[in-house]
Amino acid sequence: MSSPIWTRVALSSEFRRFDGSCWRLVEAQHRVSTLKLTDTLAEQAILEDLIEDTKPAIPPECRHLDFLLATPFRYGAPYPHGSRFRRAGRTHGVYYAAETAATAVAEMAFYRVLFFAESPATPWPSDAAEYTAFAVAVATDRLLDLTIAPLSADEAIWTDPTRYAGCQALADAAREAGADAIRYRSVRDPAGGANLALLFCQAFARPAPTERQTWRMRLSASGVQALCEFPRQALEFPRAAFASDPRITALNWERGSR
């Protein structure tokens, strides 16, 4: 590891401007699911408030944001498993997103396939799942770009499919240096798109999503197919799309559907 370039002073000299948007996917039922449990919208609002009270607190600096933006920054409960730029435990939140909707879909497709790789007895779903893709505006002068020199020299660390220790160490140093965001190549997108990891809420240029799309994703023995109605888009991820991840290599694709 080229640790000397990860110091607070060294990282602060690598800050770059970013002014654009990034995309995430969430299950389309993220708000509607409680509607079937109530008779009126007023009752649903009360139920949503009760559920909200059971969740970890949103940091004060994020409370002006739409819940889709603020949720990854909640704290008060241990983060159960470490992720690329966040350690397990009571750690600061990270907002993971992609620079394009297509890369965000690829990320979701990978993690859906990973679920079935780790659940060998679970049959494929018989119906396509629906997701909402949403874009948010980001503006910062304090972004670290791992895809260009000098930080790209450690690309092997940033793109390891399963080991995150190096990325987590970088994120720790980036926070100390005052970085708002990290740009890096998506490890999951076969097309090699870019992702963003927002470390602080202040990186959001607007408090709510600026654009939305509806995607339907189907998993089967042939791979993953994803369709967007408007604007019309189609993406396909065959069996070999995610095979570089060792957890996917042993996946039993030939299973029934429910």
Task: State how far the alpha carbon of 170 is from the alpha carbons of 8, 37, 82, 154, 180, in Å.
Answer: 10, 44, 14, 11, 13
Greater pLDDT, 13 or 56: 13
Give pLDDT, residue 30: 53
> What tens digit of pLDDT does each residue of 138-151 get?
999 999 999 999 99
Assigned domain for 255 exists: no
Give the tens place of pLDDT for each residue, 3-43. Answer: 556 888 899 999 999 999 999 999 976 556 666 666 677 76
Residue 54 lies in a domain: yes
Q: How many domains does the chain have?
A: 1
**pLDDT tens-place string over residues 153-192:** 999 999 999 999 999 999 999 999 999 999 999 999 999 9
Q: Are 147 and 184 in contact (CB under 8 A)?
A: yes
Residue 254 domain flag: no
> Does residue 258 fall inside a structural domain?
no
| Backbone torsions φ then ψ of 183, nearest 5 degrees | -105, 135
What residue numbers bound the domain in which 15 lies? 3-249
In a domain, 212, yes or no: yes
pTM of the model: 0.90
Q: How confident is the model at residue 254 (pLDDT cuts 50, 70, 90)?
A: very high
Q: Is residue 256 part of a domain?
A: no
Domain presence at residue 137 = yes
Q: Provide the pLDDT for residue 43.
A: 61
Whether 234 is covered by a domain: the verdict is yes
